[in-house]
Structure 1
Amino acid sequence: MKLLVPPSRRLILLSGVGAVLSACSGGTGGLPGFDSTATPQGGSAQPSGPTIGAGSVKVGLILPLTAEGQGATIGNSLKNAAEMALAEFPGADLTLLVKDDRGTPDGAQAATQEALREGAELIIGPLFAPSVQAVGQVARGAGKPVIAFSSDSNVASRGIYLLSFPPENDVNRVIAYASAQGRKSFAALVPETAYGKVVEGAFQQAVANHGARVVVIERFGSDQNSMRAAATRLVPALQQADALFVPADAAAMPSLGLVLQQAGYDPAKIKPLGTGVWNDANVARVPAIQGGWFASPDTAGFNAFSGRYQKRFNSAPIRTATLSYDAVSLAAALARTQGSQRFSESVLTNASGFAGADGVFRFRPDGLNERGLAVLELRNGQIVTVNAAPRDLGPRTN
């Protein structure tokens, strides 16, 4: 059995979901306490803030709408994407209870409590890791699941699912592809940042998983002197390597690429590898990493989403706006097809997964997600696909 959302929808339930969902549709499966009944609780309060949609199934949408810095910009783009998701889902039986967490854990906790009082069966958001922790404590106590947008794997747990772009997925995909192309000796030059620590750990694990070896790992700071010193230490050891993992973003990569070239690094001899932070026009033009491979969601889905978003809101979406779009689309699809089991653990962690604007994804029971990623190459300053994203994720291995 194959469950599909209407053909106009970009998010579908993939093959195999139907069998699993049919098997549990009459019971109380899922995480204990996750009883998402079709009828809202009689004691639910009336919504006290903005809402999107007018369906019978209530879902909290918790975002940093008035946070300081870039938080509010991100939060409002996520809100717009949620609105667009409902508008593009004919007859969606959802009401989104829109709550502003102000970008703080205290605000997120209060917003969650308010949404739950108003009958929310599922919480979508928040964005920042400390806020996810605060929301998780409240939602878990009420027996309601959370689909949050943080990429910090430390805040995922059973019932607290992260719909984001975990850097570990990027690393696993590009190392697997490089290994399949015969690369067996890997070096790394990673930033001395929280992101750098995460991808360094994932890099070491991925290389080991593919029976390859790590030749050397060097770390660099944000200033050019630190970059130059790291490159000088690194390059002599590259004689034993056939690939160099350099997960530097658009702010660092142009300068880092220059010092690598000055130190004698030749990308034609030692294949450069990166992560999704390379999916940037400024990175694509860096001479030192031409020919390099990196993993990222297929760009076609986001480009299509972005075009519709710009037409609707007369502005460009942030890159992560698709996360909110997919979360709301998923909630609407499950509300339509799964009855009382719609947000149960067995439904949300179905191994067949779901297909969204950024390709296929699935939630693991531990709250992390797996994505089908493409492998892209930097070629003459352009970004081209060399290995397409999979259309399904295959058997679960964890």
Structure 2
Amino acid sequence: MMTDMAPPNLSQRAREIGEAVERFVRETVVPYESDPRRDHHGAPTDELMHEMRGKAREAGVLTPHILDDGSHLTQVETAHVLIRSGLSPLGPLALNTAAPDEGNMYLLGHVGSDHLKDKFLRRMVAGEARSAFFMTEPAEDGGAGSDPSMMQTTCRRDGNHWIVDGKKAFITGADGAGVGIVMAKSEEPDSAGGACMFLVDLPDPAIRIEHVPNTIDNSMPGGHATVSINGLRVPADQMLGEAGEGFKYAQVRLSPARLSHCMRWLGGCIRANEIASDYACRRQAFGKPLVDHEGVGFMLAENLIDIKQAELMIYWCASVLDTGDLGTAESSMTKVAVSEALMRIADRCVQVMGGTGVTDKTIVEQIFREVRAFRIYDGPTEVHKWSLAKKVKREWRAANEARD
């Protein structure tokens, strides 16, 4: 079993859940990595997902971060569990801790009305329905990406309904999802041009998938679709929260969601490093095991350092979020530090394994591809650095104004 830098006062319940999750992933999920039930792009099919989730349900580890009474583990406890769920690229999918579902459940649990929780959240927590978060828009149309204020999808009132029109891009899991959270900019004067979020049942004839591009990653069913929304009618009671507050709710979701990405892919890189280390200790070259060559041994040593630093960053950011702070700056710092460290780890694992590392003989090459995509998703490194630089300037200005 793996070890990590979890705080010494980590709850016993988190330790027990983490052990059960790790055992399930290593013993039950890992064998599915060679299962041929994949789509044209290599992503696992919904049939494969539901089979694994059935076994997770039987083992009592389905949606392990949400307790039977509907409450969530703390972020620190969640880190301990989600790192272990990521030991296989299929782990988060099997356990129902994957993106975007995990982030969507978090948002709905914190902002949703009892009506929305009963209608939508219950199915998601039970692992019966995948979900999609419709925010990003096509760059070629000048739509919202890292800058959500550029949002062009609109919504307007029509009696007891809202009408949504627009186009979305890179919508993870849209193809085959049963629940959607759609974000649109309000045209109503009392919303001051703010954004709104709506819960919708999928599929819906007003939401049409135009294209699902082939991407470097393929761990998520449904891919990353481009979607057109034409005359989508949503009952007013399916608005998430208040009109015009959508950008604020997006931050409620994004800070913990980008941290959850760090947790899951750290688990993946820990597994990749285990495989690379085993290879280096077994493979002989020039009269001795690869690990005894400094060029190889030092790469594995650097991996251990990066893994531990990533763990520390994750638990530090989780502890900040547990204080009730949105932790926007902390999650940005963690996203940058961890995603870049994981890229180094995955790259070294491929390098240590040479030709074998670039084949599908192990999951190392997939981890490399997935982590490369992670450096972009939920905000690329450069956007987070830019945001942190603005924070430096604001704090400098505030300090100088205070002195004056």
* Structure holding more strand per residue: 1
Q: Same fold (TM over 0.5)?
A: no
* Structure holding more helix per residue: 2
